[in-house]
Structure 1
Amino acid sequence: MITKKTNILVTLIINPKYERLRDYLVNIADHFEDTGRTLPMVNNGIRLLDVDGLTLCVKHYDRTSWRNRLAVRIYKASKGKHSYNCAAQLRERGFATQEPVAYVAYRRNLMDQNMYFVGVFSNYHHSLHEAFGMPHSERAELLESFAHYAARLHEEGFLPIACSADNILFDRIDGRYRFSILDTGNMKCGRKVSIQKGCKSLAALQADDAFNTTLIRAYAVARGVNEAECQKYFERAKS
């Protein structure tokens, strides 16, 4: 849907399940600034909004370079729209992430556009960043679970371009660790991810040696490859 709002062109892609929120979503920029609250465990510009019994997770994508804005106008999907589509694909493949509610864009002119991705907050209580301070035995179990999760993501063709601990939420559910991707704007969706690219993505976590050793070993097992091969790619990515 494209509509006019005080000389601003509003583009709204909405999940039919949440059609009842249309009027609210058209004004998401105002709600984001006025009543949005930050997530306590992450610092990435995402805010939470409460409406109609739901907790919405809203990501605002700032203006990019003029080259990127021109590319978006001509052939490239915006980050907000990509987030919406990628979240839907992840959920279709059985991965936990926000249920997509809407993509909203406000455009004043050809090159001036602000974008928002709106999802239903998954309500996992911890970010992977907390693993850095865990006792070794507890952290090892978490990292082994995460490595298998990351391996499955990569096998299915999903690759966070720069893996961030703040962007990975987790919780222990029925005795097992479960994971959820918070922001899908920087995720590639497509072909099966190579071992080299998978290791490069994980190396971006910038953790300590003990953390990395456990993660590499478990990831190699999950992908069915030699640990030394993963170690080589990991070290190359960090250098």
Structure 2
Amino acid sequence: MQLNKTLQDILDNFDNSGKLFIAGNRNSIKLFEYEGITINVKAFKVPNWFNKIIYKYFRDSKAKRSYNYATLLLERGIGTPKPIAFYEQKSFFGLEKSFYISQHLEFDLMFRDLVENNNYPDNDIILKQFMSFCYKLHQNGIEFLDHSPGNTLIKKESENKYSFYLVDLNRMIFHKEMTFEQRMKNLSRLTPYQDMIQIMSKEYAILSNEEEDLVFDTLWKYTSEFQYKFYRKKRIKNKLRLYK
């Protein structure tokens, strides 16, 4: 994507300017002022030699997918920070650097805050409204593969009214229609807590006209399977680290 001079200057000086927002192991995010607004610039980790070739010739980069998926989400009425641009720097060897630029969203909490604090104010209200958001996502055939606690931002709009915004968008599948099983699997990474899942299941059952027990039992099954695999993988990694 061709950038204007101001955005290009921001990316050219990314390492030495801007306000650090997230310093991740793989990706980093910085904030910059641009045309009277704050923008969020995500720099993706430089891919290994194999993925450099893949992203140059065979598959869209994470930056491009993030931009395209954000555009599609907004077209379907699903909340996400407004996309502005993406940028790819390529060489003879493949994709070198890539960036995704969006308007920075001032939010009040992440879904993770509800998981970590069961007594969060308006906890039940937020969970029910979040299920309405997820149901709309599913009704639009959108399977958000990174549907985890840190990837939904929540903003309080007014008393008892919350809005939800997806971030980290580069992994999605767009279906004509999602099956019940696909929907439940898609919700299985959000929380390990049964009391939260009971509230979520009840609300999703109301929205989808499914039996509440069926929703709960299926979602709890997939949640338990995910948690088992997650902690098993974590234990294996910790053991390997000890032997290094």
What interval of TM-score do these two structures reach, taking the shorter chain for normalisation? 0.7 to 0.9
Alignment of 1:47-86 (within 5 A): 47-86=30-69
Gaps of 5+ in 1: 1-11, 15-21
Equivalent of residue 135 in structure 1, options 97, 102, 119: 119
CA contact (8 A) 2:151 2:168 kept: yes
Q: Under a length normalisation based on structure 2, what TM-score does the superposition of the two structures give?
A: 0.79
Give 2:174's aligned residue. 189
Deviation at 1:165, TM superposition (A): 1.7
Q: Give the fraction of aligned pairs with identical amino acids, expressed as a percent.
A: 21
CA contact (8 A) 1:103 1:117 kept: yes
Please identify, of 223-232 and 48-57, the stretch whose mean Cα deviation from structure 2 is larger: 223-232
2:19 counterpart letter in structure 1: R
Distance in 2 between the 1:92 and 1:228 partners? 34
Helix, strand or coil at the partner of 1:96: coil
Deviation at 1:161, TM superposition (A): 0.2
Gaps of 5+ in 2: 226-244
Give 1:174's aligned residue. 158
Give 2:138's aligned residue. 154
CA contact (8 A) 1:32 1:49 kept: no
Deviation at 1:170, TM superposition (A): 0.9
CA contact (8 A) 1:60 1:115 kept: yes
Distance in 2 between the 1:113 and 1:155 partners? 37
* Regions of 4+ moved over 6 Å: none
Alignment of 1:193-208 (within 5 A): 193-208=178-193
Instruction: Describe the superposition over 1:170-219 as per-residue Cα deviations: whole angstroms up to 9, x where unpaired.
Output: 12213311111122222333433322222212211233221122112222
Give 1:103's aligned residue. 86
CA contact (8 A) 1:168 1:182 kept: yes
Distance in 2 between the 1:108 and 1:212 partners? 48
Helix, strand or coil at the partner of 2:192: coil
Q: Under a length normalisation based on structure 1, what TM-score does the superposition of the two structures give?
A: 0.80
1:192 counterpart letter in structure 2: E
Deviation at 1:230, TM superposition (A): 2.5
> What is the aligned length?
220
- Say if 1:33 and 1:91 are closer, same or farther in 2 by CA, change over 3 A: same
CA contact (8 A) 2:52 2:93 kept: no
CA contact (8 A) 2:205 2:211 kept: yes
Instruction: Describe the superposition over 1:67-124 as per-residue Cα deviations: whole angstroms up to 9, x where unpaired.
Output: 5443333332211111111111111122221211111011233334221110112322
Q: Please give the root-mean-square deviation of Cα atoms over the aligned residues, in Å.
A: 2.5
Deviation at 1:65, TM superposition (A): 4.8
Give 2:73's aligned residue. 90
2:29 counterpart letter in structure 1: I
